Amino acid sequence: MRIVWSLLLVLLLGGNALAGDDLVMPPGLTDYQQFKVYPYLVRAREALARGDQQSALENYRHAHALVPGNVDLTLAVAQAWHEAGHDGKARQVLRHQMRTQPDNPRLQAALEKLPLRLPEVHTRERLERWQAGCERSPDRRCLISVAQKAIEIGALDIAWQVVNQPELINGLAGRDLLTQLSQVAIAQRQWTLADNCFASMDHRATLAPQQYEQWFEVLQQLQDDRRILDLQGQGVMNSPQMQLDYAESLAARGEAGKLADYLESHAPHFSDRQHERRWVRLIYRASRHPVQQVNAYRAASKARQHHGAAAQKITPAPRE
């Protein structure tokens, strides 16, 4: 049967040499599929040549209906809809194809080339309808616009939902939206949301040093001691200043037991003598053995200073 369709296709191509002598058939079609779609593609090209966009569109649609899974024909139909001034229809065709091929870069690129019409949204109800439409057929630009509008009107929970869509969360747009959302959450004292944003960025290794400082402040607002200690154990939020700030926050909250444990397991080295005195005062205030601990802390500080001075006297070997 394959040979029969091949012969018929050759005859068809020969009989239409003048009309389709340079027509490139979409890849991935069987001989039978090429035989079926060829007349429509020829007529579509002829219609485009004489400026008849409507006729070209109808022929492309017929060809696409015969082999709906073919990306090249999908793109041709979408382009024809676009040139006919119906971007909504073009977007619908592309999104329908992306349901079965969501990661196809050609479909995504074609979708993003289409102008995006943004609705007027001033209420949460309209925002939710817009969100639902974007999520049914994900388009990065649509999702970004929904998230930005959600932040603008204060619907931060919706912004968080949208940012976590797979199309956004692992890319540059997701990182930028998380950064923006974290700052708004801090300004509105929504500490849990801010924590979620920073944790998501930390998971993807996209946090800047100043953002770790902000996250540390957020966790202190939440009084999430376990998370702070876990992160400090990983070498994060563990500067001498942060250790001092955390110890003083424990003292301010009256967490005597936690503070005593923390002071016993930490001995930060301060370049500022005022900070060192504050640490020593905390030891005298909360340590179970204040005198011994202060002596041990000061001895360790002197040893670090002596080691640092000795290291400065060593002349480094010249680089080759």
Give per-residue pLDDT as tens, 197-206. 999 999 988 8
What value does the mean pLDDT take over residues 273-298?
A: 94
User: Between 175 and 56, where is the model more confident?
Assistant: 175
Residue 213 pLDDT > 50, yes or no? yes
Please state, in angstroms and rounded to a whole number, the distance separating the CA atoms of residues 211 and 206: 10
Residue 2 pLDDT > 60, yes or no? no
**Ranges 87-101, 196-210, 295-309, most confident:** 196-210
Please state, in angstroms and rounded to a whole number, the distance separating the CA atoms of residues 66 and 199: 49
**Which two structure tokens, joined as six digits, stand for 204?**
């993807």
- Yes or no: say if 163 and 156 are a contact pair by the CB < 8 Å rule: no
Please state, in angstroms and rounded to a whole number, the distance separating the CA atoms of residues 200 and 178: 8
Q: What is each CA distance from 199 to 103, 166, 298, in whole angstroms?
A: 27, 17, 36
Please state, in angstroms and rounded to a whole number, the distance separating the CA atoms of residues 104 and 134: 18
Share the mean pLDDT of the chain: 83
Give the CA count within 13 Å in the CB-facing half-sphere of 313: 6
What value does the mean pLDDT take over residues 224-250?
A: 95
Residue 10 pLDDT > 70, yes or no? no
Residue 184 pLDDT > 90, yes or no? yes
**Number of helical H runs and strand E runs in the chain:** 19, 0
